[in-house]
Amino acid sequence: MNRFFSKLPFIDQTLKGIGQIMLQENRWTGLLFIIGLFIGSWQYAAAAILAAAAGTAAAKLLKYNQQEIDAGLYGFSPALVGVVLVFLFDDVLIIWFLVITGGILAAMIQHFFISKKIPAYTFPFILVAWAFIFLIRQYTEIPPSELLQIKFEPKQLDVFLAPTNGFGEVIFQASVLSGVIFFIAVFINSPVAALYGLAASLLGAVLSVVNGQPLEQINLGLFGFNAVLTAIVFAGTKKIDGLWVLSGAIITIVIHNLLIDHHILDVVGGVLTFPFVAGTWITLLIQKILVKKV
């Protein structure tokens, strides 16, 4: 298969870009993510592929670092932009145009942070998504997507659904099967990252129950997905890694709950993955301060 992908490097770069949504430089992880998205809707899968391809193509045309392109670093923020647009809005022609445009913009912003050696993670996606969502809602009459109509009324926390759905919600999927596939997709590349992510997702659900968040949203994974990403960042095989996973996850969960409680980001489309980025930045800063003291 390596020979096949060596002949079609753009496909390999795009797949790895989609895999990098959960920080996995693995083409098979990316392919499984696409399958999980397709289970939710063909629009999700198409938007992820189209946006990741647009971001990767832009990086190649702008002659960004080849190793970074090969690692998929210009595909994951674009892919998230693409999925969130078709998740929130009816898939009219202008939305698909914005999927491509947003993918290119996200890749360019990603490059800025990479060139400054700043670990931006999904921040380029957040910036582009917030801007596009605000502008679409304020200046167009594009209706919400029919894909948003998912409801159920649980009576208690589901300790299986909430954690796995946390994986699904990283890419805006409420399907149980998609969540399980996303977990497996991470597990095949990094078992420790997948297991830490699962534990962090469960922790997010439990702490959010304590905070009085709606059970429906908790079981859908809406209070676990940011913690999943933070856990994956700090996952490792050393004992100290577990401490950093726990610390980072708790900080991320607290930020997520505070932002939801105060509706601070509703006007621009919600928290998205901002709690993950903010929580991870704070944890990295704490790490840096403690290392200097040692």
* Band of pLDDT at residue 135, cut at 50, 70 and 90: very high
* Band of pLDDT at residue 277, cut at 50, 70 and 90: very high
Q: What pLDDT is stored for residue 80 in this prediction? A: 98
Q: Which domain holds residue 142?
A: 7-146
191 and 229 within one domain: yes
Cβ-proximal residues to 26 (8 Å cutoff; 6+ apart), any chain: 16, 19, 188, 189
177 and 140 within one domain: no
171 and 141 within one domain: no
Which CATH number does the domain housing residue 218 bear?
A: 1.10.3430.10
170 and 42 within one domain: no
Which region holds residue 65: left if phi is over 0, alpha if psi is between -120 and 50, else beta?
A: beta
- Is 270 a domain residue? yes
Tens digits of residue pLDDT in 1-19: 777 777 889 999 999 999 9
- Is 2 a domain residue? no
- Is 130 a domain residue? yes
- Is 192 a domain residue? yes
113 and 12 within one domain: yes
How would you class 95 by CB atoms within 10 Å of its CB: exposed for 0-12, middle for 13-18, buried for 19 or more? buried
Considering only CA atoms, which of 151, 283, 178 is closest in space to residue 229?
A: 283
Considering only CA atoms, which of 156, 162, 154 is closest in space to residue 204?
A: 162
41 and 163 within one domain: no
123 and 25 within one domain: yes
Considering only CA atoms, which of 256, 77, 152 is closest in space to residue 85?
A: 77
Tens digits of residue pLDDT in 105-115: 999 999 999 99
158 and 128 within one domain: no
Q: How many domains does the chain have?
A: 2
When the pLDDT of each residue in the chain is averaged and rounded to a whole number, the result is 95
User: How much of the chain exceeds pLDDT 90, in percent?
Assistant: 89
To the question of pTM greater than 0.85 for the whole model, the response is yes
Average pLDDT over every residue of 173-178: 94
User: Helices 123-139 and 76-88 sit at what angle, rounded to 10 degrees?
Assistant: 30
C-alpha 183/C-alpha 33 separation (Å) is 9
- Is 1 a domain residue? no
